[in-house]
Structure 1
Amino acid sequence: MMNMQSRNQYLVELRIEYLKTKSRKKQGELLDEAEKRTMLNRKYLMDKLRPKSNLDKIASERKKRKQYYDNSVKPALIEMWRIFDCPCGSRLKTSLEDETDRLRSLDELQCSDVVAAKLKQMGSATIDRKLKHTKQIELARKKYGKKHPLLYQSILVKVFAEQNRNILGNIQIDLVEHCGASASGQFVNTLTATDISSGWTEQSAVMGKSQENTYFGINNVRQRRPFLWKEMHSDGGIEFINDHLYRYSVRIGLGFSRSRPYKKNDNCLVEQKNNTHVRKLVGYLRYDTQEEQNILNDLYNNELRLYKNFFSPVIKLVLKERAGGKIRRVYDKPKTPYQRIMESSEISES
């Protein structure tokens, strides 16, 4: 079935042929065909096919209906929406009816009597329609808005190709959540720190994602290091990009860089360890007690640390080249992280 736009386009073309035809019989046949296609009344079609009809009207020139809830109402509506914690139209409608006069008397809402009367009359569907654009702006601001822009500008962005894999001490760090099916409340997180040259990995279980707990976790894994940390590289989460951790890196002379937003490949090696060292062993259940945190830390400090760093060989990408439509990768001989560290020229024999 035709919509209005396609139907009018069809009638415009038909009108040219209809007005050129002098035979009444032929015009009748054209009307029969149009009646069948458009499902319109015959008399209405004859009015449409006149030399001058509403088919010639341009949509932009049509007289628009005057809005009852015009732009004078919208600022007050948005203010009320924010006062009542951004509810849906059905909930806000009740608040508008009951609280508009009270908020005006307390000088919390500045609007005229006319606007106040319109707010109390407004239906839930109208409220949602008027607030649609404002809600879209708020969502975009939450998703793409800058967080601590000055601090983010102070920390260098590095892609994976810019991170030096030939020297020890360049560390990628990340947090793995153990929240189960619900992210509400406090729960244990695993802090993973991986050296991108040797593959040496240290881990620590911290409660929550607070700046202080993340700092203690980083300091804990750093104290167990067999070599000097030169730079740490994290994602853009506020658990890492904060003044507390930035001042710590400056105080001890530790380099600090971050990934691009939504680009996990900039932190790809530690993302691999999140799977092989954490998820495959710990799983996806929720851990939110001190006892469970202590059990994880005992595992990370002893058996898992020794096994992964001293007895589990890893391979390292040496060369990657494109041959036609395929990418050829060359890897070196598998070695444990301990062997790679001992073979490094940066480790003294003593």
Structure 2
Amino acid sequence: MHQRYSQAASQTEKSQIIDEVVKMLGYNRKYAIYVLNNPIPAKKPAKKRSKPLKYLEALPAIQLVWEALDYPCAERLHPVLLSTAELLASHGELLLTPQIREQLARISRPTLARRIAKWRSPKPKRTLPHPKPGSRLRSKVPIECYAWNENRPGALEVDLVEHHGGSSLGHFAYTITVVDVVTGYSPAEPSLAAARPPSFAS
């Protein structure tokens, strides 16, 4: 409207433009004339202030610990970050200054996850098959889900598997799998077991 008003050739044309502004915007006529002669400058979009990155000094140490532990996720790395860094420093693999030690102890898990997401892991991504909803296999296998909030190593999940080929008679092996839910450490220990046929009293 301002452009049309400034290029108007006659007072009649300017008056028509003023009438349009008053009708569309509900301005007072004198205020409409003032705005057309002095347009309000458009507001510039506010610039987003970029926050300075924290823990820059500790990033090389974090990456070294991440690689030493075989590229774990932030949930598993965060509880053992400082202790593993201290272990690497004791073997001369890492220079651990008081500033780096403080940053390793202070960094939060979400911040650690954002830092790790920018690094490339050489481990291939595992894709698990998703069964179709309502499949016969899924309906026959009981699954219990529960929430855990452990953040210290030592909470274990244990699974026992019998390798007997469908029969519990004779000699066969057990596999005991123990998984630390925080660090992901998973040793497997096989053991030999023997089962006797059941005896029935007459």
TM-score > 0.5, shorter chain as reference? no
TM range (shorter): 0.3 to 0.5
Q: Which has the higher helix share?
A: 1
For normalisation by structure 2, the TM-score amounts to 0.38
